[in-house]
Amino acid sequence: MLTVDFSRFPLAPGDRVLDLGCGAGRHAFECYRRGAQVVALDQNGEEIREVAKWFAAMKEAGEAPEGATATAMEGDALRLPFPDESFDVVIISEVMEHIPDDKGVLAEMVRVLRPGGRIAITVPRYGPEKVCWSLSDAYHEVEGGHIRIYKADELLGKIREAGLRPYGTHHAHALHSPYWWLKCAFGVDNDKALPVRAYHKLLVWDIMKKPLATRVAEQALNPLIGKSFVAYATKPHLPAATLTDAS
């Protein structure tokens, strides 16, 4: 289940990609399949070990084209172990809402991105996320949980302040919003509640089968209740101060 839309975020074979806060690796795997040179980085060592296993399995199965590379590593998003301008593409999906110093993370991403490079940022959308917070304290008041809810204009403002140029936005995963509302209503850790179990089966069926009916429904509902807000931006070739002076 991808949150980044690669039709709006083009990726070329050989692109150097950083999937920052990669989690289980879903975007890193897709970039690897597309022929990129991928680094998947996360602070969770257990998840990184699983991602490394999947990279190896994909290589053995021939899922990645010749020339593609994939590395999984532990690291700190605020202290990235890479030189300046190391990557053509940076993806950070459902991560920034967890990090107190989100401006510091943006600064690090801009530092390691080459001029002309592209960044994709996804966060929980304000409306659906606000419902979750209202229904359940346990949803967000946990160690490593969500510490803020972004409004779209707020996130885009921070992206611009970091020296990036946003070029597109959209919403994703509308069908997942009701699932999380049910989870919050019946108990975040209560997977036995009948409505939660039934809706989870629907989501699994949708992800595995991709039926036309649910694809059309989600596209129609994304602008209304899409669970994620996605923003795309580029790093200008000129420093932000120079661009401001020139304009």
Residue 182 has pLDDT above 80, yes or no: yes
> What are the residues facing 174 on neighbouring strands?
none
Residues 6 or more apart from 69 whose CB is under 8 A from it?
37, 38
DSSP class of residue 81?
Answer: S
How far apart, in whole angstroms, are the C-alpha atoms of residue 106 and residue 199?
Answer: 35
Domains in the chain: ranges and CATH: 76-235 (3.40.50.150)
pLDDT at 144: 79
> Is pLDDT above 60 for 208?
yes
Enter the pTM of the model. 0.93
Predicted confidence (pLDDT) per residue in 67-111, tens digit: 999 999 999 999 999 999 999 999 999 999 999 999 999 999 999
What's the rounded mean pLDDT across residues 145-163?
96
CA 209/CA 214 separation, integer angstroms: 10
What is the amino acid identity at position 13? P
Most distant pair of Cα atoms in the chain: their distance: 60
β-bridge pairing 113-124 and 87-93: parallel
What pLDDT, on a 0 to 100 scale, did the predictor assign at position 239? 59
Tokens 């009701």 sit at which residue? 178
Task: Provide CB contacts within 8 A for 78, sequence distance 6+.
Answer: 99, 101, 104, 105, 108
95, 65 contact by CB (below 8 A): no
Q: Residue 26: is it exposed, middle or buried by C-beta count within 10 angstroms (0-12/13-18/19+)?
A: middle
pLDDT band at 246 (very low <50, low <70, confident <90, very high): very low
Nearest alpha carbon to residue 3 among 70, 138, 95, 141: 95
Q: Are 17 and 36 in contact (CB under 8 A)?
A: yes
Residue scoring higher pLDDT (143 or 4)? 4
Q: Answer yes or no: are the C-beta atoms of 123 and 150 closer than 8 Å.
A: yes
Euclidean distance between CA atoms 55 and 39, whole angstroms: 11
Q: Considering only CA atoms, which of 100, 196, 176, 94 is closest in space to residue 131?
A: 176
Cα–Cα distance for residue pair 38/18, rounded to 1 Å: 6
Let me know: does 147 contact 115? Beta carbons within 8 Å: no
